[in-house]
Structure 1
Amino acid sequence: MSRTEINRSGEMEVFVRIVEQGGFSAAARACRMTPSAVSKLVARLEARLGTRLVNRSTRAFQLTPEGCAFYERATRILADIEEAERAAGAGEQPVGRIRLNTSASYATHILAPILPEFLDRYPEITLDLVQTDMIVDLLAERTDVAVRAGPMRSSSLVARKLGETRMVVVASPAYLARFGMPQGIGDLDRHNRLGFGYVRTVDGWPMLKDGETVIVPAVGRIQASDGEALRRLALEGNGLARLAEFTVREDIAQGRLVPVLEDLNPGDREAFHAIHIGQGGPLPSRVRALLDFLAERGRIS
């Protein structure tokens, strides 16, 4: 079969649908094809590419690493085709779905207030918002953009810095009235220190002791999977929490939370980045539009 006789975009569309539907049968229904036709299409595609894209079994559907890479590139190519067709007929307005992965804290305090402006500016873009503080595999999770806190590790990811924020230990007035205001590091042993339920870059609270920074374990009776949950726990009087200042700034101003041990705060700051997979080529305009918007309106301090 010659190159001109192969409907490459059609194959990509079916393969992408297989991944998004989670299997051959579901994709066949969505594409109005028979399961056997879908299976044969994938077999032909694998034969032509000379690699296995899908590990087949009766119980599970799993992409191979080559399948993950092909899916990621195929979605970008199909998005480019869609944008090219739209640009030819109706101007270069970004269009399509963006899967955005971000922490609950960023989504609540930064993203939610500015999203109406983004959606008004780009009426043809839809957002699939996933909230988690855990580090995710952008390729495996089919994520276009992720907003993450902390230092960037050397990788294939491309990062755009969105600012940085100071960290602060806080507690509710009700909690402090019951258990007292800690005056030094030694006093923390009497307090419930709310912590994260997963390993972080710095697994504890940096504090000053004799002019040096030491790490105080966040040992307590409650752990949570995200910073926003810790904020809510602190507001309800469950203990002390060390949180990004931008998430509690309004709570402190309104007296709902009180800074604790500020004289021992080393002043460390946590950076936030918008990251995406770097492929060495141009980004789809919908992804570029979101990145530019976050750099403009989604910065933190």
Structure 2
Amino acid sequence: MSRTGTNRSGEMEVFVQVVERGGFSHAARQLGLSQSAVSKLVSRLEARLGARLFNRSTRRLDLTAEGCAFYERAAAILADMDEAERQARRGEQPVGRIRLNTSASYAVHVLEPILPAFVEQYPQILLDLVLTDTVIDLLAERTDVVVRAGPLKDSRLVARKLGETPMWIVASPDYLHRVGTPRDIADLDRHRRIGFGYPREIEGWRFLRDGETVHASPAVSIQASDGETMRRLALQGLGLARLAAFTVRDDIAAGRLKPVLEDLAADDREAFHAVYTGQGGPLPARVRALLNFLAERGSVA
């Protein structure tokens, strides 16, 4: 089909609005079109592409695998077009909305102190923060950037490393006074462990003994959905917790928490990444600005 007779950017905009607004009727109101017109445009797009983009039902509208891939590229193309026009008109700074999904620990201990500088530098960027430690689907959650600890598995994703942090096992002085301080891995069996309430890439706690890595999995007594809650539970004297060093340094310095098994856990580290979709292609200027800022100011250690 000839490209000259097809308003491809217009079709992309309609499709992206349907995805981001969650349905034809909401997209139609946003675009000032009738619901039937929006539905016909999407159907025409599907026919031209030779692929079904949505699984339709009376109650739900879900993206197919082809729809997810097309949405990712279409949204990026439209964002680049908007940015190109803005820069051509007035040379403006990056603008628009960024959804950033990050762990509560990173948000509290790293992001909050540097966020005022980002807002001052990019006043026309709307930052939408979502806090969760669990793994998410960036496309399904309409997320631009995710900050997470651990290895990168999904080949569709690209990462900017934000440093590595030691992982320390800590407890409150009150808890250690009541239960005792563990001196060896075997001592963990008589201690309460505060752990995550969902599966992680690396289960258990990692130790180095006689040059060999040992993973121990003491029974979890209390589960939490995020590392910051685990830290607060440890401060209340409820058990041992394995936490990122940057989240507990101040607590240790103030005597609110004490590290244990330091020699055995000295090699335990986790890398943090800012993760986004794509294969290294062009990024919207607003996303590129956030990634550069995090790489410069948002590192962990």
TM-score (norm 1): 0.94
How far apart are the structure 2 equivalents of 1:61 and 1:51? 16
Aligned partner of 2:126 in structure 1 is 126
Aligned partner of 1:31 in structure 2 is 31
Tell me which amino acid in the other structure corresponds to 1:295. A
Q: Please state whether the residue corresponding to 2:177 is helix, strand or coil.
A: helix
How far apart are the structure 2 equivalents of 1:72 and 1:151? 23
Aligned partner of 1:171 in structure 2 is 171
Q: Deviations over 1:27-56 (max 9, x none)?
A: 222222222111111111111111111111
Matches within 5 A, 1:59-78: 59-78=59-78
Aligned partner of 1:213 in structure 2 is 213
Is the CA contact 1:195–1:218 (under 8 Å) kept in the aligned structure 2?
no
Q: Return the offset for 1:25.
A: 1.6
Is the CA contact 1:206–1:266 (under 8 Å) kept in the aligned structure 2?
no
Q: Please state whether the residue corresponding to 2:220 is helix, strand or coil.
A: coil
Is the CA contact 2:158–2:280 (under 8 Å) kept in the aligned structure 1?
no
Name which of structure 1's ranges 238-247 and 84-93 shifts more when overlaid on structure 2. Answer: 84-93
Q: Deviations over 1:11-38 (max 9, x none)?
A: 2222111111111122222222222111
Q: Please state whether the residue corresponding to 1:221 is helix, strand or coil.
A: strand
Q: Please state whether the residue corresponding to 1:222 is helix, strand or coil.
A: strand
How far apart are the structure 2 equivalents of 1:208 and 1:298? 29
Q: Percent identity over the alignment?
A: 70
In the alignment, is residue 56 of structure 1 matched against residue 86 of structure 2?
no
Q: Deviations over 1:82-131 (max 9, x none)?
A: 11111112114111111112111111111111111011101111111122
Aligned partner of 1:282 in structure 2 is 282
How far apart are the structure 2 equivalents of 1:280 and 1:195? 35
Is the CA contact 1:103–1:133 (under 8 Å) kept in the aligned structure 2?
yes
How far apart are the structure 2 equivalents of 1:271 and 1:279? 21
Is the CA contact 1:194–1:241 (under 8 Å) kept in the aligned structure 2?
yes
In the alignment, is residue 160 of structure 1 matched against residue 141 of structure 2?
no
Q: Deviations over 1:235-292 (max 9, x none)?
A: 1111100111111011111111111121322422111111222244221111111111
How far apart are the structure 2 equivalents of 1:92 and 1:5? 32
Q: Please state whether the residue corresponding to 2:219 is helix, strand or coil.
A: coil
Aligned partner of 1:249 in structure 2 is 249
In the alignment, is residue 189 of structure 1 matched against residue 189 of structure 2?
yes
Tell me which amino acid in the other structure corresponds to 2:62. Q
Q: Deviations over 1:40-79 (max 9, x none)?
A: 1111111111111111110211011111111111111111
How far apart are the structure 2 equivalents of 1:81 and 1:200? 39
Q: Please state whether the residue corresponding to 1:133 is helix, strand or coil.
A: coil
How far apart are the structure 2 equivalents of 1:279 and 1:179? 51
Tell me which amino acid in the other structure corresponds to 2:144. D
Note the residue ranges of structure 1 that are not aligned, 5 or more in a row. none
Q: State the superposition RMSD in angstroms.
A: 1.7
Is the CA contact 1:213–1:266 (under 8 Å) kept in the aligned structure 2?
no
Tell me which amino acid in the other structure corresponds to 2:112. A
In the alignment, is residue 149 of structure 1 matched against residue 130 of structure 2?
no
Aligned partner of 1:84 in structure 2 is 84
Tell me which amino acid in the other structure corresponds to 1:50. G
Name which of structure 1's ranges 265-274 and 53-62 shifts more when overlaid on structure 2. Answer: 265-274
Aligned partner of 2:267 in structure 1 is 267
How far apart are the structure 1 equivalents of 2:217 and 2:122? 45
Is the CA contact 2:146–2:276 (under 8 Å) kept in the aligned structure 1?
yes
Number of residue pairs the alignment of both structures matches: 301
Is the CA contact 1:54–1:61 (under 8 Å) kept in the aligned structure 2?
yes
How far apart are the structure 2 equivalents of 1:100 and 1:187? 40
How far apart are the structure 2 equivalents of 1:186 and 1:76? 52
Is the CA contact 1:119–1:125 (under 8 Å) kept in the aligned structure 2?
yes
Q: Please state whether the residue corresponding to 2:14 is helix, strand or coil.
A: helix
Is the CA contact 2:194–2:223 (under 8 Å) kept in the aligned structure 1?
yes
TM-score (norm 2): 0.94
Is the CA contact 1:102–1:130 (under 8 Å) kept in the aligned structure 2?
yes
How far apart are the structure 2 equivalents of 1:104 and 1:182? 28
